[in-house]
Amino acid sequence: MSFFIVKKEKMLLSALMVFTLLILGYYVAGNLTQPVEIAVPTDVSEEREQSGRTDDNVTDNDPENQGPPGQVILYDSTYDDFVSFRLNRDFERSQMIDDLRITMASANVTPEEVAKAKSMYDNILKAASIEDDIEEIIMSLGFKDCVYSQTGEKAQIIVQADQVSPEQYLEILDIVSNKTGLSHRNIEVSYYN
């Protein structure tokens, strides 16, 4: 019976991953804007008279109707880099979690191996929670985005910024150190824009 539960969980996680990738693809594709030539009339009232429109709710002084002609929205690939890092990290983590669940549910595994797998499973979930907390706290400092990664006793945090002031650097070190217990010399802070 536990085999079917594991199989259902694995199928659910796989479906969730595919759904997440589809949503991400849709969102990213929606942000890709190609330059478009737009003909903007010099006098909006002339256009309304020619088309026969008498929209009373649209005024000539409305700032929304006076945008620059041929406005181009640039696509920022920095967002892609941070999202890509998170997706890779989450995918690898979900693979490890799947493997550990299979190990814990297997009938051919000793109780010691199950206990070890359970401990690793709990550590992965705890690490994911800490990563999310650290990223959220650092973004609340005013950074557009950030990613946190820890391997053993070494941590790396990358923030999206043109530069990081010494005060911000020390604040980031303190946040990571307080959340993880790592010493400042084991935490690498870098910025990327």
Average confidence (pLDDT) over 96-105: 92
Of 19, 50, 72, at which residue does a domain stop? 72
Q: Which residue has the higher pLDDT, 155 or 47?
A: 155
85 and 133: one domain? yes
Pair 85, 104 in one domain: yes
Same domain, residue pair 114 and 58: no
| Helix 166-180, helix 111-139: angle, nearest 10 | 150
Residue 31 predicted with pLDDT over 70: no
Please state, in angstroms and rounded to a whole number, the distance separating the CA atoms of residues 157 and 82: 11
> Model confidence over 40-71: pLDDT tens digits?
344 444 444 555 544 444 444 444 444 444 44
Q: What pLDDT does 7 receive?
A: 65
Last residue of a domain, one of 44, 72, 100: 72
Q: In the predicted model, is pLDDT for residue 131 greater than 80?
A: yes
* 190 backbone dihedrals φ, ψ, rounded to 5°: -140, 165
Same domain, 44 and 128: no
Q: Residues 162, 170: contact at Cβ < 8 Å?
A: no
Q: What is the pLDDT of residue 151?
A: 86
84 and 159 both lie in a single domain = yes
HEC sequence for 149-184: EEECCEEEEEEECCCCCHHHHHHHHHHHHHHHCCCH
CATH number at residue 181: 1.10.287.4300
Domain assignment present for 28: no
Q: With respect to residue 2, please indicate whether it lies within any of the assigned structural domains.
A: no
Question: Is 64 in the same domain as 40?
Answer: yes
Q: Domain check: are 133 and 167 in the same one?
A: yes
In sequence order, the β-bridge partners of residue 188 are 156
| pLDDT the model gives residue 86 | 87
Using one digit for the tens of pLDDT, what is the confidence trace for 140-150?
A: 999 989 999 88
In a domain, 15, yes or no: no
Burial class (CB in 10 A: 0-12, 13-18, 19+), 131: buried
Q: Round to the nearest angstrom and report the end-to-end CA distance of the chain.
A: 50
Same domain for 153 and 188?
Answer: yes
Q: Give the Cα separation of 164 and 60 in Å (integer).
A: 44
* Measured distance CA(116)–CA(110) in Å, rounded: 10
Domain with 105, as residue range(s), is 76-192
Mean of per-residue pLDDT scores for the chain: 74
Q: What is the Cα–Cα distance from 7 to 13, expressed in whole angstroms?
A: 10
Band the pLDDT of 75: cuts 50, 70, 90: very low
In a domain, 83, yes or no: yes
Greater confidence (104 vs 72) lies with 104
Per-residue tokens: 155: 């941590």
Do residue 85 and residue 154 come from a single domain?
A: yes
Judge if pTM exceeds 0.75.
no
The predicted model gives 98-103 an average pLDDT of: 92
Task: Tell me how many domains the chain contains.
Answer: 2
pLDDT at residue 37 tops 90: no
Residues 63 and 121 in one domain: no
Confidence label for 137 from pLDDT (cuts 50, 70 and 90): very high
- How long is the chain? 193
Across the range 149-171, mean pLDDT stands at 90
Determine, yes or no, domain membership for 184.
Answer: yes
pLDDT at 130: 93
Instruction: Examine the domain organization and report whether 153 and 123 are in the same domain.
Output: yes
- Do residues 106 and 128 share a domain? yes
